[in-house]
């Protein structure tokens, strides 16, 4: 076990931690919240889903039902009146900088959770911990970061973790992903693929591909594209920890 503050003694240690932890968070969002819970394109074994749920509790305070409801509403009204976070309606700058605000506004609207949040986990851990005490997870993470990195670097690491998903998911994917990039499919909304090599955001960079076929567990559509989220799903499948319900085209990554 590391000594108190020992990971804050060299500049590269907190940087590496942020990159690795951030990628894990992105992967948990795309695999559990997005592909599994929202679109039901992959069924995750309890042994795979539970660690993802715990990590999201620690690193984001996201409530599964709220995230799912917001994203389903986004698909129902993509880039039209009713979309919770469209840069065409609200402006790209507002979505990038205030994406989390639009998310909170959407999930607080009457009837949104009941209409769009159906089928999300309602087991004991969800009812007793993850939903009512969603704030506790990020407090625990703060304590962990303070111990690992010390009283000076720890709060900085924690702060970056807290703005990670509001920036990358609520801001970049919901903003840039509907404003800049290339399109493989002429869908009714303005979704764009930010990058054909989709690693940093767990595969979510292939946003236009996803909007063209929302129920596909695989976001890759062209031979030159790479969806690391799909690669992780295939790896989990090899160990019996994931079962693909539907994926576009061939089952190969």
Q: How far apart are CA 237 and CA 219, in angstroms?
A: 17
Residue 251 resides in a domain = no
Q: What is the mean pLDDT of residues 218-246?
A: 98
Q: Coil, helix or strand for 168?
A: helix
Q: How buried is residue 81: exposed, middle or buried, by Cβ count under 10 Å (0-12/13-18/19+)?
A: exposed
Tens of pLDDT, residues 24-64: 999 999 999 999 999 999 999 999 999 999 999 999 999 99
Q: Coil, helix or strand for 182?
A: strand
Tens of pLDDT, residues 214-227: 999 999 999 999 99
- Helices 228-238, 12-28: inter-axial angle, 10-degree rounding: 70
The reported pLDDT for the residue numbered 246 is: 97
The reported pLDDT for the residue numbered 250 is: 62
Residue 1 resides in a domain = no
Residue 250 resides in a domain = no
Please answer whether residues 39 and 214 qualify as being in contact, where contact means their C-beta atoms are separated by less than 8 angstroms: yes
> What is the DSSP-derived secondary structure letter of residue 240?
T
Query: Could you tell me what percent of the chain has a pLDDT over 70?
Result: 98
Distance, CA of 101 to chain centre:
16
User: Cβ neighbours of residue 210 under 8 Å, at least 6 residues apart?
Assistant: 191, 204, 216, 219
Is the confidence at residue 252, as pLDDT, over 60? no
Structure tokens given for 81: 């009146």
Structure tokens given for 154: 């720890």
Q: What is the mean pLDDT of residues 13-31?
A: 98
- Considering its fold, how many domains does the chain have in total? 1
Q: How buried is residue 86: exposed, middle or buried, by Cβ count under 10 Å (0-12/13-18/19+)?
A: buried
Q: What is the mean pLDDT of residues 60-85?
A: 96
Residue 77 resides in a domain = yes
Residue 252 resides in a domain = no
Containing domain of residue 19, as a range? Answer: 6-244
Report field, pTM of the whole predicted structure over 0.85: yes
- Helices 92-107, 64-76: inter-axial angle, 10-degree rounding: 120
Q: Coil, helix or strand for 244?
A: strand
Residue 214 resides in a domain = yes
């Amino acid at each position: 076990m590391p000594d108190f503050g020992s990971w804050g003694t060299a500049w590269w240690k907190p940087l590496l931690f942020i990159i690795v932890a951030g990628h894990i968070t992105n992967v948990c969002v795309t695999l559990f919240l997005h592909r599994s819970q929202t679109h039901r394109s992959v069924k995750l074994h309890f042994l795979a889903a539970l660690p993802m749920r715990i990590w999201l509790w620690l690193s984001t305070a996201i409530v599964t039902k709220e995230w799912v409801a917001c994203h389903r509403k986004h698909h129902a009204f993509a880039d039209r009146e009713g979309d919770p976070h469209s840069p065409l309606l609200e402006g790209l700058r507002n979505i990038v900088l205030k994406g989390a605000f639009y998310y909170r506004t959407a999930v607080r609207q009457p009837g949104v959770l009941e209409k769009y949040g159906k089928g999300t986990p309602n087991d004991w851990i969800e009812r007793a911990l993850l939903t009512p005490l969603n704030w506790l997870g990020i407090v625990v993470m703060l304590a962990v970061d303070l111990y690992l990195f010390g009283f000076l670097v720890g709060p900085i690491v924690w702060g970056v973790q807290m703005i990670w998903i509001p920036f990358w998911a609520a801001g970049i994917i919901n903003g840039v992903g509907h404003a800049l990039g290339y399109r493989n499919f002429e869908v009714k909304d303005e979704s764009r693929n930010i990058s054909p090599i989709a690693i940093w955001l767990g595969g979510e960079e292939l946003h236009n591909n996803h909007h063209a076929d929302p129920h596909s567990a695989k976001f890759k559509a062209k031979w030159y594209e790479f969806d690391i989220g799909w690669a992780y799903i295939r790896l989990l499948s090899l160990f019996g920890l994931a079962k693909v319900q539907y994926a576009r085209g061939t089952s190969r990554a």
